[in-house]
Each structure stands twice: as structure tokens, then as C-alpha cells.
Structure 1
Amino acid sequence: MTTLFLNPLLIDDAVRRALEEDLGRAGDITTLATIPADATAEAVIASRKDGVIAGLPLAAAAFRIYDPSVRFEPAVADGDHVSPGGVVARISGPARSILSAERAALNFMGRLSGIATATAAYVERVKHTRAKIVCTRKTTPGLRAFEKYAVKCGGGANHRYGLDDAVLIKDNHIAVAGGIGPALRAAKASVGHLVKIEIEVDRLDQLDEVLAEGADVVLLDNMSPELMAEGVRRAAGKLRTEASGGVNLESVRAIAESGVDMISVGALTHSSTVLDLGLDIAIA
């Protein structure tokens, strides 16, 4: 079972910035002008489309940080599937507060639920294989931890979080370092014993060099499924294999059937469509 965790410190920091961005210096002047200060309300967040939910902790924080008296009650959990019209959360409290925090809450949830929904579609396509769908560093600046969390909500797995937690030697590193051998030897001499080393190749002769030098993972970049299958055969029992490059919902099944361990999909975080969520309010 996948463990879903978001650092509360990251949540509060991001939500505060979002609220400050939206409220500016004068606050929600529309709500302040039109809604009585003593008005209370009940509301629901509901999905307009089929999807997978992610981002409930951020939505809850948006209302809590703006006004601790607002009550936020999730009706589902992150990672749950919802149908059109499905209630995601119920909210009650001061009407002004609900309206003023609404957009920040929905922006986070819509974005993250869109990523979770897209991830679930990829996972479904490859469920008959051993391949894991993983994300990349192609994330929205400042939102990486949340977007990678959303990938996990959709049943995917995370690649490295940043440049500092794993070595990934790509074609430009190889070119500057003077080749696959020099690059791998330099990496092994530099990093600690707990740091994984992955290297990118786009030809099978390069893979043979990697196998001779040793690594933890090889990234088979922009290869046909047939070449990937041969790469998997050569690497069997020696290192793990990852596929990347132009992966989409039409191509992912054939890639997975090549036998690779992982398939990295940048589109999960850079191109996913926001899940349409809405807040429906009733003034008490």
C-alpha cells in the first residue's frame, strides 16, 4: 500500500503564499462589500468530472489559515476516485471566510487532482506488466513536492525529488565528462554509498559500456519497444531499467511490455489537465 504524506510545514508555507497572492493588500473587496460580516454558510466541494482526488490537506489548510473557525470535512480521501457530482468535502462557517479562501483551495486541488487523474490513466494501461509509472523533475516551480505527491495519489511512483538526492548522468554529462566510463567512475568516486547512480543511454552499445562499468539503473532513452526489450534482456539481473522519451497514453502499453522496470512520464506534471472542481455555497 502506498504511503501518502505531505510535510505540514510545506503545506502551510505554500498556502500562505497563495492566500497572500490572491488577497493582496485590501483583501477580498467583493466579498467584503456584498456579504454581511455575521453571515454564515454551508458549502460543498464537488467534482464536475470523473477523476482521482489529490490535495485535500492543502484545501483544508487554505480555510484553516484564513479563518480557524471554518470547518472543513473531507467526504473522500486523497487517492479516491470520484464521479461527476461526487462530493469531495463539506465546509461550514463564516460566509466571508469561505468565499475568500475558496479559490486558493480549488486551485491546489484542481491542479493536483488533475495530475492524480492522469497518472491513474497511465497506471491502468500498464497494470498487466511489472512497470511502474514514475514522474520527473518537470514540475511547476515551487510545487514539486505537491505534484509528486499527486502522482502517488494516482498510483504512480516518484523519481528523484531534486538534483541532490540521486545521480542521473545524462547525455550532456557524458559528453563533457569524456564518455560513459569516465562519467560513471567519477560519480562512484564522488557520492556516498547510499546514493543511487543512474545513467542515460540511447544505443545498445552504450548499454554494454554501462554493464561493463556498473551502475544501479540505466535509462533507455527514446528507444523503440523492440530495442528496449533487448536492453532489458542484456541488463537482466545486473541493473534496473527505466524507459523515457515521448511517452504517452498510446505508446505506454508497448513500452511497458518490453519488460522495463520503470517508465518516466514528464507529461504527468507538465501537461495534465486540471480536474474541474467547484464550490457550491448556501448562505445560512
Structure 2
Amino acid sequence: MKIELNGKKALVTGSSGGIGLAIAQGLAEAGAEVVLHGRNADKLAAARAAVASRHPGARLGTVQSDLATADGAAALCAAHPDVDILVNNAGYFAPKSFTEITDDDWQYMLDVNVMSGVRLSRHYLPRMMAANWGRIVFISSESALQIPAEMIHYGVSKTALLGVSRGLAELTAGTGVTVNAVLPGPTRSEGVAGFFAEMAREQNVPQAQMESDFIARHRPSSLLRRLATVEEVANMVVYACSAQASATNGAALRVDGGVVRSIA
């Protein structure tokens, strides 16, 4: 299967690093024009350079905005009012005891992880429907199905994305537009790698051991028995954005390494 996205314009939020950057790389490889997004100008410039280095001649754009706010989402939409592919990847995680999660913590988690995608989809979906072609992908998590006790607010935000994704997909019936969610399992993104590196330093153990211990203790149902790579997650996203995935709509596509013990 050769995925070709020539002539398509893709926006990947939170793509200055980690899974988002890997998705941007994959879409650029497939021939799409890619708009990278982030909050930090230096990281965003480095991400653009990384994609350009791997894919010389790729059509690339960047936009800097804070998607935790309505103004940030509006600025992004104004900069790029029309796209064929929207990957709602912007998000963050924050391990914290439930009793210590404040109202502000809850609100910020929902603003970043949920409302960012809601606002952008509200803008781009009608335009895709008018064109009778489009792809919206929400990056959820296996934590949406198995809420992690160590960060309940994160899990709840990812569950919400499944509801939004499926609801929007219902609106696309009979059109060339699809809306899907992708559920990564534990993945060695920059943020996750940094988290484990810090824990390894604090406990004076190798980072590889820390990662292995985490999977064994906190994700014992994993069949992969390791962290996924960002490229493994990106491969699923690129497929969901392709013409070949035209019959995949309203789905929750798992790249969880078998963590979720379910056949449905």
C-alpha cells in the first residue's frame, strides 16, 4: 500500500516534538503540505527544520499559538483557514494524586486536551463537508478506556475525545469526510522519555529499567512489553488520513500494544 497525499494540506497541532512531529514527518513523506503547530518558537523552528531535512522539497508551514485558549485557536484558524486534514494532537499529561488535582488543574487539562480539538473541528469540519473530503483525527489514549489512577483528569480528558470524535463522525454520514480517534499506549515521546529519565535519576536506576518496571507494574496487560515508538503511532494516524481509509469512520483505532484487554 502506497499512501499518497499530494495536493492535500494537513494541520498537526502540538507538532513541535513527540508524536505530533512524527505524524508531521509521516504526512510530509506521503506528499501532503504540512502545517506544524506549537507554543514555543524555537522548538517549532527546529521541528520544521527536522521535517525539511528528512523530506527536502516538502511544503511546510508553521503557526505559533496557545490552544488552551479560544483566542489561540482563533489565531490558528485565521492563519490557515482551510485544511484537508486536521490532526488534533495537542495535549499534555500530569501525574497527580486525585485529592491534589485542583479545579484549575481540571479546567486546564480539559482546555488543552479537549477544547483545543473542539474549537478547531468546529471551524474546519464545515469546510471539509462543503468540499466533500476531509480527515479529522483526535489523538486519544488507552487511558481513555483504562483510567490511570495516577492521573484521573488526564484519562477523563482522553475519554471525552472519544465522545467528541464519534459524535462528529455521525455528522459526516454519506460524505467523503471521516472523523476518527487514535489511542496510543505508553509511547516514548520526548515528554514521556524526560519523565522516565527524571524518575531514573531520582531512584538511581537505568532509564531502561525504569521504563520496563513501569510497564510491568502499571500496564501489566501490555502485549508489546515496551514503550511504543512515536513512529509506530504516526503510522496509524497517516493511514487514517489517507484515501485508503475512506471506510474507516467513527472508529477508535488502538495503537496500545495490547494494553486494553478487549476484543471490541
| TM-score, normalised with respect to structure 2 | 0.26
* Higher fraction of strand: 1
* Higher fraction of helix: 2
Bigger radius of gyration: 1
Q: Bigger relative contact order, structure 1 or 2, given CA contacts below 8 A and separation 6+?
A: 1
